[in-house]
Amino acid sequence: MDKKTAVAQLGAIAQEARLDIFRLLVQAGTPGLAAGAISETLNIPNSTLSFHLKELSHAGLIAARQESRFIYYSADYAAMNGLLAYLTENCCAGDTACCPDSYCSPPQKG
Amino acid sequence: MDKKTAVAQLGAIAQEARLDIFRLLVQAGTPGLAAGAISETLNIPNSTLSFHLKELSHAGLIAARQESRFIYYSADYAAMNGLLAYLTENCCAGDTACCPDSYCSPPQKG
DNA sequence: ACTATATTTCCATAAATATAGAAATATTTC
DNA sequence: GAAATATTTCTATATTTATGGAAATATAGT
């Protein structure tokens, strides 16, 4: 994981609207949701939503796929897991027991 | 986990210098590091470092403890794990098998 | 109380980001 | 090809954030 990438991805979700969007997609699973459905669910105007979707997409946290007139957005789970692993990498100098939950991770390549 | 808190915490580490600082402290373990040691290790001017430490601290991601003339900063692992759990909460509508790694989590209270 | 060390606050400047209406683009159906 | 639906781009404005030098504050030893 590249540091610039991590900063971009964290910045992408460090914003209320985008955090809502991302979590909604994380919970929606691989099929994802159409832009209109997201807009309705979260009550975000189209132009604003479009701006935020582009930010998330540009950061690599979500993917878009066109299907007829709709564009479906879905969470990129591999990217999400990569980011979480980067944050917890080599936690407590490798002593994973120091973390109460299961998030500590050994060092990653890259 | 409160949404505003999550945004504040993500915003705190969505910045190169602060991400470096946070990861350094995550790896340093519970004893933490003195401000001067962080400044030297990461080559960040004192005033700039102080600003960033305050941001991280205010977001609740790190804790400070005074010891003689030094102020030791350390990662708040519970906060970190809470944030990660918030991001992955109810991943894929509860089907944790959809995530390749071990980050998916069931819904949390709050 | 003087000196040295550690850290923070003050300040001004520079840069990045969020918002949403209106217009534009793309796709499907008739 | 016109009408309807879905989404994006353009635009302007308002707000937030990052940087580091210089001065201020705090703690410890002599």
Which residue in the block uniquely carries the two structure tokens 């209109």?
Answer: A36
Give the pLDDT band of residue A93 (cuts 50, 70, 90).
confident
Contact B7 A14 (CB under 8 A): yes
Res A107: pLDDT: 65
Does residue B103 lie in a domain region?
no
Residue B39, domain CATH: 1.10.10.10
**A61-70 mean pLDDT:** 94
Compare all CA atoms of chain B with the CA of A23 and give the residue at the minimum distance.
B87
Q: Which of B1, B9, B84, B95 should we substitute to test contact with A (largest number of A Cβ atoms within 10 Å)?
A: B84
How far apart CA A38 and CA A25 sit, in angstroms, is 9
The Å distance, CA of B93 to C1' of C7, is 47
Q: Which of B5, B16, B23 should we substitute to test contact with A (largest number of A Cβ atoms within 10 Å)?
A: B23
| Angle, CA B4 vertex, CA A35 and CA B46 arms, to 5° | 120
Supply the range of the domain harboring residue A52.
3-85
Res B18: pLDDT: 97
Of B98 and A9, more confident = A9
Write the pLDDT tens digit of every residue in A31-58.
Answer: 999 999 999 999 999 999 999 999 999 9
Res B92: pLDDT: 87
Does residue B43 lie in a domain region?
yes
Does residue A109 lie in a domain region?
no
- Look up residue A79 and give its two tokens: 């990217």
Q: Are A88 and A104 in contact (CB under 8 A)?
A: yes
Residue A1 touches partner B, C-beta closer than 8 Å = no
* B62 strand-pairing partners: B75
Of B102 and B59, more confident = B59
Give me the number of domains chain B comprises.
1
Does residue A71 lie in a domain region?
yes
Is the predicted pLDDT of residue A66 greater than 70, yes or no?
yes
Res A103: pLDDT: 72
Does residue B76 lie in a domain region?
yes
Does residue B104 lie in a domain region?
no
Residues whose CB falls within 8 Å of the CB of residue A29, separated by 6 or more in sequence, listed in order: A74, B92, B93, B95, B98
- Look up residue A31 and give its two tokens: 């099929």
Does residue B106 lie in a domain region?
no
Which residue in the block uniquely carries the two structure tokens 């209320």?
Answer: A16
Residues in chain A with CB shorter than 8 Å from the CB of B107 are none
Does residue A24 lie in a domain region?
yes
Res B110: pLDDT: 45
